[in-house]
């Protein structure tokens, strides 16, 4: 696990000092070593966290004759199998690292080398003979990759802050991306919060040559059910076998490893697979809260005892919001998932004990574990009501507003009207995932800011495009496909990657092994969400390993009581941040609308905590990045 950065230019040299600054900006991702490669027209940099081949695996790594150079962020889990294959074809290796397989695969297969990889990765390969750069990102988007392109030059890095070390790259925000953030709580690829930057989407390659770039997709998940399964017993056996294999590969490490454990189905499944695969006791780590409805530590302890793990816990208090400046700095773009707070602390705790942690990420996307998957089916049944008729209820319900809780009658009625009034199934699913309604943003936005937004939002494309492009034969499959292409890489994986790499912790996700994901996608929707029972086939597959009461307890999720915090000990935070003169002068929002939103939440009449949290994150990001002195390329460092 590492951070990579670099620049290529068709016009001349690359300043070695710039490359050093780019690496320094992401040193937290890989504090063990720094490596650079510089020659006319190219500079590659790497900050390495040593996990495999601690002695000879430092990067950049070259092939036998030095004609191919690579820097890698991530892990290639099937590197041993690939190495044996390559050595059989005459390739000579100088290290024991997983990274070196990339240069030899590129020699053999060119750009198609990426298709042989089983892992999480973002890498850059420089072909010195052809003066050609290949960038690639893993299939599910576990490892990030930003880039900027202008005037025949291209910059790339694991985090935006590295590219922003070059004063030539402006830090202006992209209003369309900001609008998408407020709707989705993240900025979806290929957009970036910075107008000058883009994100390479998951499962894509970028080839730069002669000052021009070309992007292509190399993998597409199919959601068509495989009718070769003879019975559900075969499905369950396949799930267990694939989980054990994916876990086995992720236990390859030359440093200590453990697992995040919430006590929920997915993390319990991974810990169970680790216990069955590992020859030593598993180390597990969990996070808790004093608010009982958000606390799962009791369940985590039970699972830890069941599998005899060495278990550690950490508790988060409202004072944890003092971590906000550091949180905003590390995420680099506005990021609204409140679970970033406990995830950051969990990563910090875990890194005290191990360098690698396995996690249960991916179970909900594979097997329909979220409430919004049930909502998609429920709203589909309600779609017999013409959208224009449903839309008649929107204005009066907007006037009344939400209820004091997210699950109150007023909140649910208003949400139903907004969703059912959507004109298409894809638009309906987009509204299910939205955190702000169009009418709310119309009221919040300052007129000039709103006038500068495109008519077709970035958020709409992020959800609707994969939903409509899916080959799934039914609604649930299309919803899962949309999640895997948008919500998963845009929000959930960003949350874990940034929080873990802030503490130089590598996180691996067996349930996001692409072969496991392909297997899950081939199962019929009816065995995933069965009469309101989420993840049914996955839970049934785990019953020989895990007791029923653990598998069947209600899902809690990894959230924080932000609405309570903003009415209690953090009551002053929204006004202090959002009504500060800097925020008002920014011209994004109407101050009176912001104040009204805060007052409605404080009074307890409506639960607007999550929406206020998004506004806070956006303003803090603007203060940290956009307002930073442009004359000082190191001003982003803390």
Rounded Cα distance, 613 and 582, in Å: 18
Give me the residues paired with residue 270 across strands: none
- As to burial, measured by CB atoms within 10 angstroms (0-12 exposed, 13-18 middle, 19+ buried), residue 603 is exposed
Distances (CA, A) of 452 to 178, 179, 350, 495, 504: 12, 11, 44, 29, 40
Distances (CA, A) of 485 to 163, 373, 488, 490, 492: 25, 15, 7, 8, 12
- DSSP H or E stretch at residue 33: strand 33-39
Rounded Cα distance, 326 and 147, in Å: 23
The alpha carbon of 356 is separated from its chain's Cα centroid by a whole number of angstroms, namely 18
The alpha carbon of 376 is separated from its chain's Cα centroid by a whole number of angstroms, namely 22
CB contact set of 369 (below 8 Å; sequence gap of 6+): 265, 266, 363, 534, 535, 555
Q: Which two tokens stand for residue 541?
A: 């597959």
Pairing label, strands 310-316, 153-157: unpaired
DSSP 589: B
- DSSP H or E stretch at residue 76: strand 68-76
Distances (CA, A) of 143 to 46, 366, 480, 507, 603: 14, 19, 20, 10, 42
Instruction: Report which of 68, 71, 158, 84 is spatially closest to residue 116, judged by C-alpha positions.
Output: 84
CB contact set of 140 (below 8 Å; sequence gap of 6+): 120, 202, 203, 362, 484, 488, 489, 493, 512, 514, 517
- Judge contact between 535 and 265, C-beta under 8 A: yes
Using the Cα atoms of residue 562, residue 345, residue 328 and residue 147 in order, give the sign of their dihedral: negative
Rounded Cα distance, 124 and 556, in Å: 39
Give me the residues paired with residue 284 across strands: 259, 311
Give me the residues paired with residue 311 across strands: 284
SS3 assignment, position 344: helix
Q: Which two tokens stand for residue 259?
A: 């697992």
Using the Cα atoms of residue 221, residue 227, residue 232 and residue 237 in order, give the sign of their dihedral: negative
Q: Which two tokens stand for residue 130?
A: 């052809």
Pick the catalytic residue from 2, 259, 588, 628.
Answer: 2
Neighbours of 375 (CB within 10 A): 18
Distances (CA, A) of 48 to 93, 215, 331: 20, 27, 19
Q: Active-site residue 2, yes or no?
A: yes
| Active-site residue list | 2
């Amino acid at each position: 696990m590492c951070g990579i950065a670099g620049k290529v230019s068709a016009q001349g040299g690359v300043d070695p000092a710039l490359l050093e600054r780019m690496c320094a900006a992401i040193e937290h991702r890989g504090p063990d070593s720094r490596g650079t490669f510089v020659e006319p027209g190219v500079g590659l940099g790497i900050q390495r966290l040593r996990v495999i081949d601690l002695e000879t695996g430092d990067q950049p790594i070259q092939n036998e004759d030095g004609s191919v150079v690579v820097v890698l962020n991530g892990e290639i889990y099937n590197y041993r199998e690939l190495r044996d294959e390559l050595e059989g074809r005459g390739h000579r290796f100088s290290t024991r690292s997983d990274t070196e397989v990339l240069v030899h695969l590129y020699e053999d297969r060119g750009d198609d080398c990426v298709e042989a990889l089983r892992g999480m990765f973002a890498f850059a390969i420089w072909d010195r003979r052809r003066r050609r750069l290949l960038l690639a990102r893993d299939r599910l988007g576990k490892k990030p990759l930003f880039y900027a392109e202008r005037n025949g030059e291209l910059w790339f890095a694991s985090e935006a802050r590295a590219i922003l070390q070059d004063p030539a790259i402006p830090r202006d925000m992209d209003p369309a991306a900001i609008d998408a953030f407020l709707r989705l709580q993240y900025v979806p690829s290929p957009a970036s919060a910075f107008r000058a930057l883009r994100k390479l989407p998951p499962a894509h390659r970028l080839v730069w040559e002669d000052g021009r770039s070309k992007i292509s997709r190399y993998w597409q998940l199919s959601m068509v059910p495989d009718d070769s399964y003879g019975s559900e017993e075969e499905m369950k056996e396949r799930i267990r076998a694939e989980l054990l294999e994916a876990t086995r590969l992720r236990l390859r490490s030359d440093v200590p490893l453990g697992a995040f454990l919430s006590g929920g189905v997915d993390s319990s499944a991974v810990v169970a697979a680790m216990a069955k695969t590992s020859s030593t006791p598993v180390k597990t780590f969990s996070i808790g809260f004093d608010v009982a409805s958000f606390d799962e530590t009791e369940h985590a302890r039970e699972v830890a005892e069941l599998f005899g793990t060495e278990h550690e816990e950490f508790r988060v208090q409202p004072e944890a919001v003092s971590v906000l400046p550091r949180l905003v700095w590390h995420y680099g773009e506005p990021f609204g998932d409140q679970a970033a707070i406990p995830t950051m602390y969990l990563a910090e705790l875990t890194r005290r004990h191990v360098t690698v942690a396995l996690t249960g990420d991916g179970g909900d996307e594979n097997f329909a574990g979220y409430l919004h998957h049930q909502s998609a089916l429920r709203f589909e049944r309600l779609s017999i009501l013409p959208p224009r008729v449903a839309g008649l209820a929107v204005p009066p319900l907007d006037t009344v507003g939400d209820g004091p809780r997210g699950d109150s009658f007023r909140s649910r009625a208003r949400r139903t009207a907004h969703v059912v009034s959507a004109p298409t199934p894809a638009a309906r699913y987009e509204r299910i995932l939205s955190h702000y309604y169009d009418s709310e943003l119309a009221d919040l936005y300052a007129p000039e800011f709103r006038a500068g937004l495109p008519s077709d939002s970035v958020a709409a494309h992020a959800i609707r495009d994969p939903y409509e492009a899916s080959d799934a034969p039914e609604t649930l499959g299309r919803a899962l496909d949309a999640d895997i292409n948008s919500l998963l890489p845009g929000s959930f994986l960003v949350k874990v990657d940034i929080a873990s790499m802030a503490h130089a912790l590598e996180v691996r996700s067996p349930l996001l092994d692409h072969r496991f994901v392909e297997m899950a996608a081939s199962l019929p929707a009816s065995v995933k969400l069965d009469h309101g029972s989420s993840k049914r086939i996955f839970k049934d597959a785990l019953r020989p390993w895990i007791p029923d009461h653990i598998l069947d307890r209600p899902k809690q999720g990894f959230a924080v009581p932000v609405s309570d915090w903003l009415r209690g000990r953090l009551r002053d935070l929204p006004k202090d941040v959002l009504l500060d003169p800097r925020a008002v002068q920014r011209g994004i929002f109407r101050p009176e609308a912001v104040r009204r939103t805060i007052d409605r939440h404080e009074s307890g009449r409506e639960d607007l905590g999550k929406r206020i949290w998004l506004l806070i994150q956006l303003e803090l990001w603007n203060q940290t990045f956009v307002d930073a002195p442009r004359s000082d390329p190191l001003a982003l460092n803390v």
